[in-house]
Chain A
Amino acid sequence: MSLFLIVALPFLGALLPGLMIRAGRQVCFVTTFTVTALAFIGLMTHLPGVWRGEVPTARLDWLPGLGMNLDLFLDPLGLMFAGLILGIGLLIIAYARWYLSRDDNMGEFYSYLLLFQGAMVGIVLSDNVLILLVFWELTSLSSFLLIGFWKHLPEGRQGARMALTVTGMGGLAMIGGMLILGQIVGSYDLTVILQNRELIQASPLYLPALLLILTGCFTKSAQFPFHFWLPHAMSAPTPVSAYLHSATMVKAGLFLMARLWPVLSGTEVWVTLVCSVGLLTMVIGAFIAFFKDDLKALLAFSTVSHLGLICFLLGTGTTFGAMAAVFHILNHASFKAALFMVAGIVDHGVHTRDMKKLGGLRHLMPLTFLIATLAGLSMAGIPLFNGFVSKEMMLEEALHTTLFNSPLLVTVVATLGALFSAAYSFRFISHTFLGAERHDYPAHPHDPEPGLWLPPALLMIPVVGLGIAPFLAEPFVRLVTGAVVGGVAEMPEEHLALWHGLTPALAMSAIAVVGGLIWLALFGPLARVWHAMPRPEAKDIFDSLIKALANGAARFSHRLHDGSFTRYAAIFVVTVVGLGAHAWFTGDAVAPTRAMLPITPVGVALWAMLIAAAGFLVLYHRNRLAVLILMGIIGLIVSMSFNYFSAPDLALTQISVEVVTIILLLLALNFLPNRTPAESTAGRRTRDAVIAIGGGVAVAALTWTILMGDFPMTSMSEYHLANSYKGGGGDNVVNVILVDFRGFDTFGEIIVLGIAALVIYALTEALLNGEVRAKLLNRDFEEARAGDAHPLMMVVLTRVMMPVVLMVGVYIFLRGHNEPGGGFVAGLIVAIAVVMQYMASGFAWADSRQRYPYHGIIGAGVLVAGLTGIGSWFAGEPFLTSAFGYFRIPPMNEFELATAAAFDLGVFLAVVGAVMLSLESFSRLGRRAGTETNEHAMDIDPSRPSVKQEG
């Protein structure tokens, strides 16, 4: 199976559970399970090849210019992790099927789980660090959804937020580190980076890169001091904890450290930093875990501790350490996943996870007890279980590691960690299952159904099998270790074995186990001391930190944004004018190079009218109706100026837009006050006038300079003029630019227009369904309303004119390619023809005759335009390449057909739909406001029996 498919399967599959849940929980489960199983089988088909030393790859160029390509490869390390993610994923999916209650939305859960799974598989198979980072962030996001799955629990929400904050910040650091790494090597290909150990370690940027990458790994893998998010993530449903904290999420950090081991490890900083952080985390985690009463909290801190252990092993920088780390990753995944599931079973059966309320369950839940004991002893590091073998290797490695010039330090700390680890493991078993049976369990304890115990039971096969015969895993572990080491060092001589003879490590192990038993025996007094001791609560520190940050940000933005739009606008204008003035007075003024066009009487007349209209508008702006009339005048003058200055297309467009804009504003004014109250003080008005005049003078000066100078570089208009007919088949260059040269822009523009109309529709819906509805219904109009809402003359006229106007629209559309006109103008004209019917004959009358919803017309327009564009693919040309030809059907003259016309049809439809949908939405508001519904276009019709009077 292609590697692409292995990564894509969980993502694609994530779409299914949400749909399948409608067919029932069982179908939903089977679908999810099948998706993961397919991916797992696909992965396993590569196993023989990888075993022989092949590295399957899959490459797809995405943004080659940035070095960001969808490159995947499957080496043994990736195979082991992908196998863990998908294999344990299968068990978790099965376990969750029986764990989730009927109140939980199983489809949602499985969708999140598959998203997370896909992101994890993506990380371990990436061969491009940028793609890896994308998947890395995806795991943070999807784990946020999983941890906060129980949205009704505040702990769940807080835990999810904390996990996202910590791992997200780490992710940011990681991005920085990876980019630096890519800069050093000059490539973002992981395989290339891995071959440049000397180059990277000699670079002065090695240290920052290392620190940033380690920050990312430490946060993800919950290393001290970033460990605190992990226990809080325990408020997630137990299957999530079992998945995230045994095999996947927290192992991602370790995976990356192992992946980059060949280029990053071995330096003094690496050894000191990674080893000490690992050791510290191991001991602290194990120490705290012992005192946790909640089973999942105990396991959470134990996970922190084991992650520290693996971190330490990777930090030593020896190949033996790497081998031990690989083996312990496998072992920890198996026993920890099982233990989490056991905690879930206990919770399910007894309705509590508090060990103070548990104990004596061994006879009531014998099967669970068996699984818990096997997995727990493995966690404690008892011989014959797999945890023992890798822990022995860790102690062996500790004996040979020197930190801070003290050979004994590491040995002692590692033994201490192992001791606490044994202690909490024993406590997990004994305080839950051993001891006397109690009578006050919150529920009647019993072994669960097979769906719950089978998944952890299956995990006992490697726990016991590899514990008794570790040599079985040796070829595979060596293979993976080879991939981690990446040929920069010799493979270790040592073998995986149960018995190495009477070694110092065995003695340390014995000390740990015996010490752990003694430590457990002292639990009572120790716990009292622990609880009496003041200790820093990481969550409180985190919370107050976040709160301080949020408050600071709120105060800052509040000062900046005080909610006064007027102030922002004033500051904006003043700043822009100030910057412009600075440039103007400090730069070199360009001398005029063009001769001024002679001033004509028409020009002066238009100019004078415009100035007068604008002046009156400002003077009488409190009278809103007058403002609208003046706006109409200004729009008309602007259209005429366009026409005067040789732009007929613009003139046509402007004048038709003017009509619909004024209608729209009139509709709005129907609801708004008719007058603007006088509020501003004289000082304020003066200030605004000064700002406005400043802006006006600046724009006038700018325009003057531009108009009097020549183009600073050759205009590309020449190209368009020369090629409009040859390449686009049209004489109207403006239209050819719109539908051909810049067709893609136009495509975007009609989409924007459609979105605007839909936004208006949605807002109207929201208004009509909210509290505004009642206000509209009870609303009084300020002024007397017209007695004759639908005058006879107007009804007759508009109806007679309708076909004529439509014909004009068709004419304007058809001639658009060669003469002024086109889809935009034609669309506006047709819209006006329809609006006239609404105005003259009433909304209800016109609406009942309108067969196609305007949304559909917008959609059809965008679709037609898009399909025209796609059509050129079939001719092997890029999107929106136009074609045209000349045809002749006798007895007609020769005529032209161009694909651009089909595109223009799309523009036409989108414009009609958008304009009509906007206006219709506004008038729907009006209908709600008490206008009587008219069934007939004319209110006065003597032939009708009942005559309705309006107004």
Chain B
Amino acid sequence: MEFLMSTAIGVLTAAGIYMVLRLRTFPVIIGTSLLSYAVNVFLFASGRLALNAAPVLRDGIEVYTDPIPQALVLTAIVISFGMTAVVVIMALGSYLSAGEDLVDVPARDAEIPTAPHALRGEAVE
């Protein structure tokens, strides 16, 4: 079972990285979501796998699952929703205002080798 779990996490990571390396915002967001899955499952698995172990305290039961990774991951899942939402609105805003959804700064915009604007404007007055 551990083998299946490790390879599944690996596959999710690989797919996530590949998507993050795409050039448009949407696949990059999908990539980060895939990576979130991978990270959440990884964190959860760090408590070691347990089949049919009790998650809730009951009289007479000795073996329980590890609760700490579960608590960590529970909030992580909710927070990753918030993160995805923020990234999506940023992507949307940039697409709507710029008309394109590239993640890299186009080469023509990147040619600003001089000092920032404040110093260019004022210091020579």
What's the tally of chain A residues with a CB closer than 8 Å to chain B?
A: 128
Q: Is the CB of B79 within 8 A of A776?
A: no
User: In the complex the two chains form, what is the Cα distance from A183 to B16 in whole Å?
Assistant: 50
Q: Which of B45, B46, B83, B119 contacts A546 (CB 8 A)?
A: B119
* Interface bits B86-125 vs A (CB < 8 Å: 1, else 0): 1011111101110001011100011011111001001111
* Residues of the B chain whose Cβ atoms lie less than 8 Å from the Cβ of A55: none
Q: Which of B1, B27, B50, B90 contacts A598 (CB 8 A)?
A: B1
Residue of A nearest to B123 (CB): A543
Q: Is the CB of A708 within 8 A of B15?
A: no
Main secondary structure of the interface of B (DSSP, over half): helix
Q: Which of B29, B70, B88 contacts A647 (CB 8 A)?
A: B70
Whether A771 touches B89, Cβ cut-off 8 Å, given contacts A610-B11, A647-B65, is no
* Residues of the B chain whose Cβ atoms lie less than 8 Å from the Cβ of A598: 1
Q: Is the CB of B8 within 8 A of A550?
A: no
Main secondary structure of the interface of A (DSSP, over half): helix
Q: Is the CB of B65 within 8 A of A646?
A: yes
B30-89 contacts to A, CB under 8 A, are 30, 33-34, 37-38, 40-42, 44-58, 64-68, 70-71, 73-75, 77-86, 88-89
B77 shortest CB reach to chain A, Å: 5
* Interface bits A653-664 vs B (CB < 8 Å: 1, else 0): 110010011001
Q: Is the CB of B44 within 8 A of A599?
A: no
B4 shortest CB reach to chain A, Å: 4
Residue of B nearest to A752 (CB): B79
Quick check: is A563 within 8 A (CB to CB) of the other chain?
Answer: yes
Q: Is the CB of A624 within 8 A of B8?
A: no
Q: Is the CB of B68 within 8 A of A717?
A: yes
Q: Is the CB of B56 within 8 A of A732?
A: yes
Quick check: is A772 within 8 A (CB to CB) of the other chain?
Answer: yes
What's the tally of chain B residues with a CB closer than 8 Å to chain A?
A: 97
A216 shortest CB reach to chain B, Å: 25
Q: Is the CB of A737 within 8 A of B71?
A: yes
Q: Is the CB of B88 within 8 A of A688?
A: no
Quick check: is A291 within 8 A (CB to CB) of the other chain?
Answer: no
* Residues of the A chain whose Cβ atoms lie less than 8 Å from the Cβ of B81: 657, 660-661, 664, 915
A750-776 contacts to B, CB under 8 A, are 752-753, 756-757, 759-760, 763-764, 766-767, 770-772, 775-776
* Residues of the B chain whose Cβ atoms lie less than 8 Å from the Cβ of A408: none
B27 shortest CB reach to chain A, Å: 6
Q: Is the CB of B97 within 8 A of A618?
A: no
Q: Is the CB of A672 within 8 A of B101?
A: yes
Whether A645 touches B49, Cβ cut-off 8 Å, given contacts A558-B113, A603-B4, A738-B71, is yes
User: In the complex the two chains form, what is the Cα distance from A772 to B95 in whole Å?
Assistant: 10
Quick check: is A925 within 8 A (CB to CB) of the other chain?
Answer: yes
User: In the complex the two chains form, what is the Cα distance from A767 to B90 in whole Å?
Assistant: 10
* Residues of the A chain whose Cβ atoms lie less than 8 Å from the Cβ of B82: 752-753, 756-757, 914, 918
Whether A618 touches B19, Cβ cut-off 8 Å, given contacts A664-B85, A676-B27, A699-B13, is yes
Whether A696 touches B42, Cβ cut-off 8 Å, given contacts A680-B22, A756-B83, A915-B81, is no
User: In the complex the two chains form, what is the Cα distance from A79 to B86 in whole Å?
Assistant: 54
A86 shortest CB reach to chain B, Å: 35
User: In the complex the two chains form, what is the Cα distance from A892 to B125 in whole Å?
Assistant: 83
Whether A599 touches B89, Cβ cut-off 8 Å, given contacts A563-B110, A635-B37, is no
User: In the complex the two chains form, what is the Cα distance from A707 to B4 in whole Å?
Assistant: 11
Q: Is the CB of A638 within 8 A of B37?
A: yes
Q: Is the CB of A737 within 8 A of B67?
A: yes
Whether A691 touches B74, Cβ cut-off 8 Å, given contacts A610-B11, A820-B55, is no
Q: Which of A562, A695, A820 contacts B13 (CB 8 A)?
A: A695
* Residues of the A chain whose Cβ atoms lie less than 8 Å from the Cβ of B5: 703, 707
Residue of B nearest to A660 (CB): B81
Q: Is the CB of B51 within 8 A of A646?
A: yes
Q: Is the CB of A676 within 8 A of B26?
A: yes
Whether A721 touches B74, Cβ cut-off 8 Å, given contacts A597-B51, A673-B101, is no
* Residues of the A chain whose Cβ atoms lie less than 8 Å from the Cβ of B8: 607, 610-611, 641
User: In the complex the two chains form, what is the Cα distance from A699 to B49 in whole Å?
Assistant: 17
A825 shortest CB reach to chain B, Å: 9
Q: Is the CB of A154 within 8 A of B122?
A: yes
B25 shortest CB reach to chain A, Å: 8
Q: Is the CB of A672 within 8 A of B26?
A: yes
Q: Is the CB of A661 within 8 A of B84?
A: yes
B93 shortest CB reach to chain A, Å: 5
Q: Is the CB of A563 within 8 A of B105?
A: yes
Quick check: is A819 within 8 A (CB to CB) of the other chain?
Answer: yes
List the interface of chain A (C-beta within 8 A of B): 154, 157-158, 543, 546-547, 550-551, 554-555, 558, 562-567, 569-570, 573, 594, 596-600, 603-604, 607, 610-611, 614-615, 617-618, 621, 624, 627, 631, 634-635, 638, 641-642, 644-650, 653-654, 657, 660-661, 664-665, 668-669, 671-673, 676-677, 679-680, 688-689, 691-693, 695-697, 699-701, 703-704, 706-708, 711, 715-717, 720-721, 724-725, 731-734, 737-738, 742, 745-746, 749, 752-753, 756-757, 759-760, 763-764, 766-767, 770-772, 775-776, 818-820, 824, 828, 911, 914-915, 918, 921-922, 925
Can you list 25 residue pairs at the A/B interface with Cβ under 8 Å?
A154-B125, A158-B123, A547-B115, A551-B114, A564-B104, A617-B30, A618-B15, A621-B30, A645-B49, A646-B50, A657-B81, A692-B15, A699-B10, A699-B38, A700-B13, A703-B6, A704-B6, A707-B2, A707-B48, A711-B48, A756-B85, A756-B86, A763-B90, A776-B96, A819-B56
Known: A676-B26, A701-B6, A733-B56. 9 other contacts (CB 8 A): A570-B21, A653-B78, A691-B18, A692-B17, A707-B48, A749-B75, A757-B82, A775-B97, A914-B82
List the interface of chain B (C-beta within 8 A of A): 1-30, 33-34, 37-38, 40-42, 44-58, 64-68, 70-71, 73-75, 77-86, 88-93, 95-97, 101, 103-105, 109-110, 112-116, 119, 122-125
Q: What 10 A-B pairs have minimum CB-CB distances, sorted nearest first?
A: A563-B105, A700-B10, A696-B14, A756-B82, A692-B18, A597-B1, A733-B67, A737-B71, A692-B17, A704-B6
